[in-house]
Amino acid sequence: MNKIVMTFETNLKKDEFASAIQEAIHHFEGVSWKINSYTNKAPRTCIITGKGMHEGYLLHTGETIADESSLLVYLKTNYKEGVYSDDFILADAYEQELYLWTDWHDE
């Protein structure tokens, strides 16, 4: 944790100054929380990797996957058994509307 040391000159009485500082700290704690909640929290999570996502694949089930390699793992496990090329699996699943690519904004 970083410390900040500040020196102030003021005409406020000690208790008025302390109250003003407490109010400012309370305000900045709220700002810090808001900044962290917007910058650190992704609106979706990949079901394969657990990675936070702002964009990725949305499955017809409502689940989300972060990248193409994870999408292929999911599709090979759940939909296509046998020997098919990755391109065929992706194209066939897309044609069947099993997934689409999208992005999410803060909700």
Query: Over the stretch 17-27, which tens digit does the pLDDT of each residue have?
Result: 667 667 766 66
Under a CB-based contact definition with an 8 Å cutoff, are residues 65 and 90 in contact?
no
Name the domain count of the chain: 1
76 within domain boundaries: yes
7 within domain boundaries: no
The average pLDDT across 46-75 equals 94
pLDDT score for 61? 93
The average pLDDT across 38-43 equals 68
Mean pLDDT value across the chain: 79
Name the more confident of 10 and 8: 10
22 within domain boundaries: no
Distance CA 23, CA 14 (A): 14
The average pLDDT across 82-104 equals 92
Domain that holds residue 94: 44-103
63 within domain boundaries: yes
75 within domain boundaries: yes
pLDDT score for 36? 45
Under a CB-based contact definition with an 8 Å cutoff, are residues 72 and 86 in contact?
yes
Tokens representing 56 are 């990725």
Three-state SS for the chain is CCCCCCCCCCCCCHHHHHHHHHHHHHHHHHHHHHHHHHHCCCCEECCCCCCEECEEEEECCCCEECCHHHHHHHHHHHCCCCCCCHHHHHHHHHHCCCEEEEECCCC
pLDDT score for 83? 83
**pLDDT band per the 50, 70, 90 thresholds, residue 37:** very low
32 within domain boundaries: no
